Structure 1
Amino acid sequence: MRVSKFLILLLLIAPGITFGISPDKHNDSVKAPINYPKPPVTDSRLFYVQRTPNANTIVYDLNLATNGMPDTENPVKAYWIRYADKGQKEDLNYIQRKFAYGLTARPLANGNYDIRFVSYKKFPLTLMKASDGKYHIFAFISQKQIILNSVFVKIEGGTFWFPNVVYVEVSGTDPQTGKEMVERFKP
Structure 2
Amino acid sequence: MSKPDAKAAVANKYLVTDTTKKKINFPTLPANINRLFYVQRDPNTNTIVYELNMGANGELNTEEPMHVYWIKYNEHGQHEELNFIQRKFAYGLTQKPLGNGKYDIRFVSYKKFALTLMKSADGKYHIYATIAQKQAILNRIFVKIEGGSFWLPNVVYVELKGTDPATGQEIVDRFKP
**TM-score interval, smaller chain:** 0.7 to 0.9
- For the pair 1:140 / 2:134, whether they are aligned, the reply is no
Q: Which moved more, 1:137-146 or 1:74-83?
A: 137-146
2:59 aligned residue: 69
What are the superposed Cα offsets for residues 61-82 of structure 1, whole Å, 9 maximum, x if unpaired?
Answer: 1012355432111100000000
Alignment-mate amino acid for residue 98 of structure 1: K
Residues 24, 45 of structure 2: 8 Å contact kept: no
In 2: Cα distance, 1:104 partner to 1:97 partner: 10
Q: Which has the higher contact order (CA 8 A, sep 6+)?
A: 1
Describe the SS at the equivalent of 1:97. Answer: helix
1:160 aligned residue: 149
Describe the SS at the equivalent of 1:77. Answer: strand
- The size of the alignment, in residue pairs, is 154
- Stretches of structure 1 lacking an aligned partner (at least 5 in a row): 1-32
- For the pair 1:82 / 2:72, whether they are aligned, the reply is yes
**Distance apart, 1:179 and its partner CA:** 0.4
Question: Pick from 118, 126, 133: which aligns with 1:128?
Answer: 118
Residues 39, 59 of structure 1: 8 Å contact kept: no
Percent of aligned pairs with the same amino acid: 67
**Distance apart, 1:109 and its partner CA:** 2.1
Residues 117, 123 of structure 1: 8 Å contact kept: yes
- For the pair 1:100 / 2:90, whether they are aligned, the reply is yes
TM-score (norm 1): 0.77
**Distance apart, 1:118 and its partner CA:** 1.4
In 2: Cα distance, 1:63 partner to 1:168 partner: 26
Q: Which moved more, 1:162-171 or 1:90-99?
A: 162-171
Alignment-mate amino acid for residue 136 of structure 1: H
For the aligned residue pairs, the C-alpha RMSD in angstroms reads 1.7
Alignment-mate amino acid for residue 146 of structure 1: A
Larger Rg: 2
TM-score (norm 2): 0.81
Describe the SS at the equivalent of 2:113. Answer: strand
Alignment-mate amino acid for residue 127 of structure 2: I
Describe the SS at the equivalent of 2:86. Answer: helix
**Distance apart, 1:155 and its partner CA:** 2.3
Describe the SS at the equivalent of 1:54. Answer: coil
- Stretches of structure 2 lacking an aligned partner (at least 5 in a row): 1-22
In 2: Cα distance, 1:46 partner to 1:153 partner: 17
- For the pair 1:52 / 2:25, whether they are aligned, the reply is no
In 2: Cα distance, 1:163 partner to 1:140 partner: 24
Q: 1:163 to 1:100 in 2, by over 3 A?
A: closer
1:38 aligned residue: 28
Alignment-mate amino acid for residue 143 of structure 2: V
**Distance apart, 1:120 and its partner CA:** 1.7
In 2: Cα distance, 1:45 partner to 1:159 partner: 30
1:19 aligned residue: none
